[in-house]
Amino acid sequence: MATQAQDRTHTEATASHVDVLIVGAGISGIGAAWHLQHQTPQKCFAVLEAMDSFGGTWVTHKYPGIRSDSDLYTFGYRFKPWVGPPIATADEIRAYMREVIEENELARHIRYGHRIHSASWSSAEKQWTITGTKGEGEPFTVTANFLWMCQGYYRHSQGYTPEWEGKDDFKGAIVHPQSWPSDLDLSGKRVVVIGSGATAATLVPAIADKCAHVTLLQRSPTYFYPHPNSNELADRLRQLEVDEAIVHDIVRKSILFDQAEITRRAMEDPESVKAELLEAARAYLGPDFDIDTHFTPRYRPWQQRLAFLPDGDLFQGLAAGKASVVTDHIKRFTKTGIELESGNLLEADIIVTATGFNLCITGDIEFEVDGKAVNFADTVTYRGMMFTGVPNLVWIMGYFRASWTLRVDLVADFVCRLLDHMDARGAKKVEVALRPEDHNMPLLPWIDADNFNPGYLQRGMHLLPKRGDKPEWMHNQDYWSERAELPLIDLDDPAFHYS
């Protein structure tokens, strides 16, 4: 006879109706599943994932050297100690996620190879109907009381490559890091990596020894933070045989404290933070390196994510002459490389376009509420989690400046509290709506470009929900204030409508 646990396992693996449907098995979706299991064990839930594996970002990206650019004490979940070096490879992050899945028996909730195409809310039935395809294109339908979007923020199928004149003339290979060919042979090749973000900074040192030469071609410089890939406090606590859960907690707090400090200083006194970052670069690159041209950004530190360079690897490669950096604008591609605005020519056999992502905020799912198509750009966000006119839906958009996952834990606490609150009220539907005092509020773009302005957000701002000018109606990107505010949200505030 089947045990209760076996029955439940079977039901969750195949159920055509669930209490909560999680979209995506990336670091957000797996975190969401853990929280549901621990905080609302009475809820039946499923995770639908388009790919054949968990990991999301850490599966899609397979380029050489792929790693985190923030530390895993904060990119890891608060409930699962990180025991490795702070900066981790994609494989290490997936191994960590695998442990979370195995230790908590989450696999029984996950349906791989399920791509969702549409989600339709019915106020009469008070549920979502989700359709998609699985396997070889076989259609499926699942209904759910609540939809938890953990779809990430960019389109996994294709990265962003700008149109350049003459691109088709180039005789070599053009590769985007998001779809790195496993058989790409770099030996003896001259490689140009276009881009200046974390991906380019990771790739260049990772391939410097494998090709004839690699050039980092950037339009404008980025701030980098070179630091050994170790954490002194963690090492010391481990030497003292402190329990790993305590090490995780203390090191996390210490890193967050330091980050809060640097954020504060970067906003209050950007010039001195800038000077420190440039000085750190100079320590690796030497006094003769043209830091003014190549590593002195025009923006203020922290207006974009500060990319960590473990052991200053990019700078070491440049200093050793294995790699070089060119700061210039592309005029056109030629048969043999790239012609720059300065008139210089960069000869190349392979051009890597580390030029970013295509923003995709809804996992390419067509949304409908009571038969009417939803355009998220017409909605107003409740704290970057919920949206006016879209009931029973929360999404996770993590932090861009701090580790993304810090927000996964915070939003998960909110969702579990909201689900419990709905049960306590006997409500089947929750929706956020502007309160009378909000009606004259200016509706602004999702994020203030002066505060944070990476290219993919600038390019996709028209797709994103609107923000107001009150804390309730914006995603403020500030972990330190949200850490205090989100747990205190009054779920009976007039912004929440239950039925």
Ligand X SMILES: Cc1cc2nc3c(=O)[nH]c(=O)nc-3n(C[C@H](O)[C@H](O)[C@H](O)COP(=O)(O)OP(=O)(O)OC[C@H]3O[C@@H](n4cnc5c(N)ncnc54)[C@H](O)[C@@H]3O)c2cc1C
Task: Pick one of 56, 86, 205, 384: the residue that binds ligand X (CB under 6 A).
Answer: 56
317 binds ligand X per the rule CB under 6 A = no
CB-nearer residue toward ligand X: 26 or 337: 26
Task: Pick one of 15, 26, 221, 477: the residue that binds ligand X (CB under 6 A).
Answer: 26
Please state, in angstroms and rounded to a whole number, the distance separating the CA atoms of residues 207 and 64.
7
Task: Pick one of 35, 61, 78, 111: the residue that binds ligand X (CB under 6 A).
Answer: 61
Give the range of 66-74, 76-84, 236-244, 289-297 binding ligand X by CB under 6 A. 66-74
121 binds ligand X per the rule CB under 6 A = no
Task: Pick one of 15, 21, 48, 191: the residue that binds ligand X (CB under 6 A).
Answer: 48
Q: How far is the CB of 130 from ligand X (least distance, A)?
A: 9
259 binds ligand X per the rule CB under 6 A = no
* Interacting residues with ligand X between 140 and 159 (CB under 6 A): 150-152, 156
Q: Within 13 Å of residue 214, how many CA atoms lie on the same side as its CB?
A: 26
Please state, in angstroms and rounded to a whole number, the distance separating the CA atoms of residues 207 and 283.
23
Residue (of 260, 237, 256, 257) closest to 247 by Cα position: 237
Task: Pick one of 81, 205, 363, 465: the residue that binds ligand X (CB under 6 A).
Answer: 363
CB-nearer residue toward ligand X: 35 or 190: 35
Q: Is residue 18 exposed (0-12), middle (13-18) or buried (19+ Cβ within 10 Å)? A: buried
Give the range of 231-239, 361-369, 465-473, 484-492 binding ligand X by CB under 6 A. 361-369
CB atoms within 10 A of CB 169: 11
CB-nearer residue toward ligand X: 180 or 498: 180
Task: Pick one of 21, 352, 365, 390: the residue that binds ligand X (CB under 6 A).
Answer: 365
Q: How far is the CB of 386 from ligand X (least distance, A)?
A: 17
86 binds ligand X per the rule CB under 6 A = no
All residues at 6 or more sequence positions from 91 whose CB lies less than 8 Å from its CB, including other chains: none
Contact 197, 354 (CB under 8 A): yes
Contact 142, 17 (CB under 8 A): yes
Please state, in angstroms and rounded to a whole number, the distance separating the CA atoms of residues 127 and 266.
46
Length, in residues, of the chain = 499
Give the range of 24-32, 102-110, 343-351, 438-446 binding ligand X by CB under 6 A. 24-32
- Give me the amino acid identity at 213: H
First to last CA, the chain: 40
Contact 63, 180 (CB under 8 A): yes
69 binds ligand X per the rule CB under 6 A = yes
Tokens standing for residue 451 = 């505060």
Contact 205, 313 (CB under 8 A): yes
Which x/- pattern, by CB under 6 A, does the window 457-496 give for ligand X? ----------------------------------------
User: How far is C-alpha 277 from the geometric centre of its chain's CA atoms?
Assistant: 24
Tokens standing for residue 158 = 């294709």
* Interacting residues with ligand X between 181 and 220 (CB under 6 A): 199
281 binds ligand X per the rule CB under 6 A = no
Q: Is residue 292 exposed (0-12), middle (13-18) or buried (19+ Cβ within 10 Å)? A: exposed
Task: Pick one of 18, 22, 23, 211: the residue that binds ligand X (CB under 6 A).
Answer: 23
Residue (of 327, 499, 371) closest to 427 by Cα position: 499
Number of residues that bind ligand X (CB under 6 A): 32
CB-nearer residue toward ligand X: 139 or 442: 139
303 binds ligand X per the rule CB under 6 A = no
* Interacting residues with ligand X between 399 and 428 (CB under 6 A): 403-404
How much is the CA Rg of the chain, to the nearest whole Å? 24
Residues of this chain that interact with ligand X (CB under 6 A) are 23-29, 48-51, 56-57, 61, 68-70, 75, 115-116, 150-152, 156, 199, 363-365, 396, 398, 403-404
